């Protein structure tokens, strides 16, 4: 990362090759459409390139930093998106949410195991807790918006998120 901050193109190519598949997966998960996801992926990596000097190694891993840039950009775009267009794409969204996307053949076993651990940790949450966390994380919704979407009391949503996140942490810790 420090080499990237100094403008090292080779280091940046390696960064791209290492983290772009999961970043694209995240963008696709949030945005639904592949073309748009690839477009935002370019923006994310150009942002990473220009703001490499802002990366704080104490605060996040390079992957974590890239993924947070990606999530933030994707959610911005999601919020700006036309509501009608969103409805049109709901069918595509569902496919993405069900994980119907081309997996990467060369994905490292370690990464896959890590992902399986997170899936099993998410599986330990109640479906309601999981839904609330996913709506916040992948759809960028606030407490109130989640409550409206699920037609649930605000306090219930808040406690589902708090309990769910704590349970998730425990599950992640015990699995690793």
Partner 1 sequence: MSAGHTPRFEEMLPAYALGALEGDELHELEAHLATGCDECRRQLRMWEADLEEIAASVSPMTPSAETRQRVLEATAPATQPAPARLEPRRTRSAGRRGRWGWLAAAAALALVVWSQWNVARLRQETADLAQERDRLARQVTSLQSERDLARAEAQRMAQALGFITSPGVRSIQLAGLEAAPGAAGHTFVDPRRRQAVFYASGLPALAPDQTYQLWFITDRPVSAGTFSVDGSGRGNLQVDGVADGVRTWAVTVEPSGGAPQPTGAMVLAGQA
Q: Which is nearer to partner 1, 89 or 111 (by Cβ)?
A: 111
Q: Minimum Å distance from CB 79 to partner 1?
A: 11
> 57 or 90: whose CB is closer to partner 1?
57
Q: Considering CB under 8 A, how many residues would be counted as binding partner 1?
A: 68
Of residues 34, 81, 128, 150, which one binds partner 1 by CB under 8 A? 34
* The dihedral sign for the CA sequence 148, 74, 22, 165: negative
- Residue 155 binding partner 1, by CB under 8 A: no
Fill in the per-residue mask, 62 to 101: x = in contact with partner 1 (CB under 8 A), - = not in contact. -xx--xx-xx---x-----------------------x-x
1 in contact with partner 1 (CB under 8 A): no
> Per rule CB under 8 A, is residue 126 in the interface with partner 1?
no
């Amino acid at each position: 990362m420090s080499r990237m901050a100094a403008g090292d193109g080779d280091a940046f190519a390696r960064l791209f090759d290492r983290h772009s598949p999961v970043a694209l997966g995240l963008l696709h998960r949030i945005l639904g459409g592949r073309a748009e996801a690839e477009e935002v992926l370019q923006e994310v990596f150009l942002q990473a390139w220009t703001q490499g000097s802002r990366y704080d190694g104490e605060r996040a891993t390079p992957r974590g930093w890239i993924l947070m840039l990606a999530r933030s950009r994707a959610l911005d775009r999601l919020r700006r998106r036309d509501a009608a267009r969103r409805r049109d794409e709901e069918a595509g969204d569902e496919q993405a949410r069900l994980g119907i996307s081309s997996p990467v053949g060369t994905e490292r076993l370690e990464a896959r195991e890590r992902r399986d651990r997170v899936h099993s940790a998410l599986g330990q949450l109640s479906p309601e807790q999981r839904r609330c966390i996913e709506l916040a994380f992948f759809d960028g919704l606030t407490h109130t918006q989640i409550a409206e979407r699920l037609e649930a009391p605000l306090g219930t949503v808040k406690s589902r998120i708090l309990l769910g996140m704590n349970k998730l942490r425990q599950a992640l810790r015990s699995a690793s």
